Each structure stands twice: as C-alpha cells, then as structure tokens.
C-alpha cells in the first residue's frame, strides 16, 4: 500500500526529520571563522618579550575580542599571568570554565551582593567611582576581596582624578572586607598615536599620583606596551596585539611581528555578468561602467561583515585581491571580478591570513577591534590547535 503523501507538516512528521543532519556538505558555503591558536601564542610571546619582567593580564573582555574567551584563555593559560574582563559575569564564566589565574574585572562591583560574588570567586574588581566604595560598605564578604583602583590620568572617562585619589585610596584600603594595599591602574587615551607627548604626560601623572602606593601598579594596553617601555608598572594589559590586530593608527601588525589569529572566510555562491549601466544590490550603489563579471559571496552584516564597507573595500577571492562593490546586505556581498579568476564554490577571505583585518577596518571607517567583536553567532568556528 502506498503511503498517502502528507499534505500538512505535523509535529510527528517533523520529528521524523530529526536529527537534522550536520551541514557537512553545505558548510563550505557558509561563513566560517578559523582561529589559529599558534598565532595567538606567538603574539603572547611578543607581548611577554616587550613586558620584560612585568606580568601579563590578557584582555579577554567581549568574549575574547570575538574569538571566544574560554578558547583564548585556554590557549594562553601558560603564557600569561592573569586575565582581564569588563564585567563580573565575564569573570565568573572563566572561573566556571576552571581557570585559576588572577582575573581583574574592569567595571568592578555595584553593590554588596556583587562584592561577595567577586570575593567568593577570587575575582578582583576595579573601583573607579565613589559610589562603588559607598555601596560596598564596611562589612566583610566571607573571603577578603582583592581590589584595584582606577586613576584618571587623561582619558577622562572613568577613574578617580589625581585630586580625589588619595581619599578614595584611603577609604577603600580601610574597608573591612578588602585586602590591604589595593592595586592601582590607569588607561592611556592616545598611546596609539605617533605623538608621544599625551601618553608621557599620563605616565608622569600616574607615577606622581601613586608614589606612595604599596600595591601593584598597571598602565599599559598593547600600544603602551610596545611604544612606551619606560611606562613601567608591575602588570601590563595587552588585548588587540594578542589577536594580531595593529595597536597603532599608523604601522602594520606585521611590522611588530604580530600574526593574525582570526581568518573569516566564505565562498562564492554565484557569478554573473552585469551589463554596462546596470546597478548592483540595494540602492544601486554601484553601477557597472562596462559589461563586467560580478561575484556573490555568502556573507553579510548578519554575520558581522561591516555594512558600511564602501566600494573598493579589499577582499580575497581564490587567493587574488579583489574589491567589494555594491551595498553589503544581511547575507550577501557582491565583488568586482574583473581580472579575477573565479568560479562558484571558490573561497573568499574577508580578512585574516591573506588580508590584514586592519586594511578592511580602515576601508570601512572602523578599527579591527570592532570587526572582531561584531562577528555574529551564525558564523561557524573552526579552531586550529597550536
Ligand atoms: C581593553 C582594555 C585594554 C586592552 O587594550 P588593547 O588596546 O586591546 O591592548 C587594556 N586596559 C583597559 C582598561 C582596557 O579597557
């Protein structure tokens, strides 16, 4: 007897489709990020060399700059001395994953409950505002809390001014739940610029402000670490350089022997000929000046490719440098294939091993940090172990 053809999808019928097969055959068609953990470890070695005797807190906030905080922390666990995150939740996630290194929480704690959570998980909150000292109060937390104070030496965003600092330091040190001799840190606003003067002024102000502090000190982000060896301190806090991004507004990452960790690839899902005068994509931003070949790649802003990338943004098709044309859409981009050998199924690299992310970032009016952080959950991750 022939089964009647179902005319309507029912939960029972749907269940028969399960498990939905892994997309092995179609995976090549989808955006994929490849994370080269040997590059990450190499970059940590560059940071360590620049740090001299100073210890390293690896910045793994924002899910390890989009690379996966746990993946990054695992790869770096024997190369760095601790980790730095922005939020208490990010710190707790690392503890949950089993990391026992020191973890500094930049935004600190907002109340007693959070302070107790931090103490019990050996997380080290940064205090940057009096309201935090007020709300944490004079009670203990079961375990002593290791704390840091942030001093504002020129960024003017968060932190105690040098005037407010002595009082904040004395008040925080006197709290019952807090370990004596808080650490002190500051953050550079312009260490990435060729002009050294603003950073030198921040360093001098920090040294003056902390002259009587017995605790640990920390000044440098990646740019500070590479460009201001005289900054000193006990700890450095590199982020972008670990991921192979260029910390400076001039220069290139490779000039500092930094290697790209993240490579974002997809593939061509269509090629077509566009006639002279025809426009491509939403809004018709690009009009073909002549009859020309155009490639369509399976990636868009829904994956984290920057929507603001203009015509001419570099991209690599099958190993050849090509140019983006037309507006980036949610799932697709279009590429000028004039002079390029390409066919459907060919690989497309948006940034990474063959194309520095900083070149794409600067074409798209942003920085590598943002491109890394905004990769979406739709992008499959492939990890190359060291
Ligand atoms: C993010 C951050 C860093 C790391 O900066 P990079 O430029 O990525 O090296 C260091 N310190 C603080 C306070 C930060 O917020």
Helical segments of 80-142, H only: 88-96, 112-120, 130-136
Which residues, 6+ apart, have CB-to-CB distance to 326 below 8 Å? 279, 280, 281, 282, 285, 286, 311, 333, 334
Integer angstrom CA distances of residue 239 from 65, 116, 310, 373: 8, 28, 28, 12
Integer angstrom CA distances of residue 143 from 98, 117, 125: 19, 10, 14
Mean pLDDT of the region 187-210: 98
d(CA 370, CA 14): 40
Helical segments of the chain, H only: 11-16, 37-51, 61-65, 69-76, 88-96, 112-120, 130-136, 165-174, 197-209, 222-227, 357-363, 368-373
Angle in degrees, CA 71, 76, 81, rounded to 5: 130
Q: 12-26, 218-232, 263-277 — which is least confidently predicted?
A: 12-26
DSSP letter, residue 301: T
* Active-site residue (options: 61, 150, 305, 369): 61
Mean pLDDT of the region 321-345: 98
Sign of CA dihedral 261, 262, 267, 271: negative
CA 86 / ligand 1 centre spacing (Å): 10
Q: 110-114, 235-239, 362-366 — which is least confidently predicted?
A: 110-114
Structure pTM?
Answer: 0.94
CA 262 / ligand 1 centre spacing (Å): 19
d(CA 203, CA 69): 30
Q: Which of 376, 362, 274, 267 is nearest to 326 (CA)?
A: 274
Banded pLDDT at 140 (limits 50, 70, 90): confident
Percent of the chain scoring above 90 in pLDDT:
89
Banded pLDDT at 1 (limits 50, 70, 90): low
How do residues 242-293 score in pLDDT, each as one tens digit? Answer: 999 999 999 999 999 999 999 999 999 999 999 999 999 999 999 999 999 9
Mean pLDDT of the region 50-76: 98
Q: What is the CATH number of domain 54-245?
A: 3.20.20.10
Alpha carbon nearest to ligand 1 atom 6, residue: 239
pLDDT at 24: 53
Mean pLDDT of the region 307-336: 98
Which is the closest atom of ligand 1 to the Cα of 237? 10
Beta bridge partners of 292: 274
pLDDT at 7: 85
Q: How far from each other are the two terminal CA atoms of the chain, in whole angstroms?
A: 58
CATH 3.20.20.10 maps onto the chain at 54-245
DSSP-assigned letters across all residues of 165-180: HHHHHHHHHH-TTB-S
- Pairing type for strands 380-384 and 32-36 reads parallel
DSSP-assigned letters across all residues of 181-203: S-EEE---SSTTSS--HHHHHHH
- pLDDT at residue 19 greater than cutoff 90: no
Q: CB under 6 Å to ligand 1: residues?
A: 59, 61, 106, 187, 221-222, 237-240, 247
Mean pLDDT of the region 21-33: 68
CATH 2.40.37.10 maps onto the chain at 262-384
Which is the closest atom of ligand 1 to the Cα of 225? 9
Sign of CA dihedral 85, 90, 93, 95: positive
Which is the closest atom of ligand 1 to the Cα of 65? 8
Which is the closest atom of ligand 1 to the Cα of 150? 13
Q: Which of 50, 214, 182, 203 is nearest to 104 (CA)?
A: 182
DSSP-assigned letters across all residues of 319-358: TEEEEEES---SS-EEEE-TT----TT-EEEEESSSS-HH
Q: Which of 130, 149, 133 is nearest to 217 (CA)?
A: 149
Instruction: Say if residue 19 is preceded by a cis peptide, omega within 30 of 0.
Output: yes
pLDDT at 367: 98
pLDDT at 138: 78
Active-site residue flag, 61? yes
CA 61 / ligand 1 centre spacing (Å): 9
CA 219 / ligand 1 centre spacing (Å): 10
CA 382 / ligand 1 centre spacing (Å): 26
d(CA 264, CA 42): 20
pLDDT at 207: 98
- pLDDT at residue 323 greater than cutoff 90: yes
Superfamily of structural domain 262-384: Lyase, Ornithine Decarboxylase; Chain A, domain 1 (2.40.37.10)
Active-site residue flag, 301? no
């Amino acid at each position: 007897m022939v089964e009647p053809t179902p005319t309507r999808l029912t939960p029972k019928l749907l269940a028969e489709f399960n498990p939905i097969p892994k997309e092995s055959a179609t995976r090549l068609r989808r955006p994929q990020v490849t994370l080269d953990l040997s590059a990450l470890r190499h970059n940590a070695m560059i940071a360590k060399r620049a740090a001299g005797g100073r210890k390293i807190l690896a910045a793994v906030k924002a899910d390890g700059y989009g690379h996966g905080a746990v993946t990054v922390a695992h790869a770096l666990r024997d190369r760095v001395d601790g980790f730095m995150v922005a939020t208490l939740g990010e710190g707790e996630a690392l503890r949950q994953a089993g990391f026992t290194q020191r973890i500094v929480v930049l935004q600190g704690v907002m109340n007693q409950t959070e302070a107790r959570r931090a103490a019990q998980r050996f997380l080290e909150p940064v205090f940057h505002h009096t309201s935090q000292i007020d709300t944490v109060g004079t009670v203990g937390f079961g375990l002593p809390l290791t704390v840091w104070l942030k001093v504002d030496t020129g960024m003017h965003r968060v932190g105690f001014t040098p005037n407010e600092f002595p009082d904040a330091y004395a008040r925080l040190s006197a709290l019952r739940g807090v370990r004596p001799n808080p650490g002190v840190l500051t953050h550079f606003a312009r260490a990435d610029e060729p002009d050294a003067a603003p950073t030198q002024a921040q360093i001098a102000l920090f040294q003056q402000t902390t002259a009587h502090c017995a605790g640990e000190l920390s000044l440098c982000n990646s740019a500070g670490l590479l460009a201001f060896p005289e900054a000193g301190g006990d700890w450095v806090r590199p982020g972008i350089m670990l991921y192979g991004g260029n910390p400076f507004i001039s220069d290139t990452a490779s000039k500092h022997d930094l290697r790209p960790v993240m490579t974002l690839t997809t593939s061509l899902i269509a090629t077509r000929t566009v006639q002279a005068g025809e426009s491509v994509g939403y809004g018709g931003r690009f009009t073909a000046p002549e009859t020309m070949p155009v490639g369509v790649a399976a990636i868009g802003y829904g994956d984290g490719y920057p929507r603001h990338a203009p015509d001419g943004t570099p991209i690599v098709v099958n190993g050849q440098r090509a140019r983006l044309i037309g507006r980036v859409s949610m799932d697709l981009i279009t590429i000028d294939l004039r002079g390029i050998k390409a066919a459907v199924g060919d690989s497309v690299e948006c940034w990474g091993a063959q194309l520095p992310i900083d070149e794409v970032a600067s074409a798209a009016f942003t920085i590598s940090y943002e491109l890394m952080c905004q990769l979406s959950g739709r992008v499959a991750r492939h990890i190359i172990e060291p």
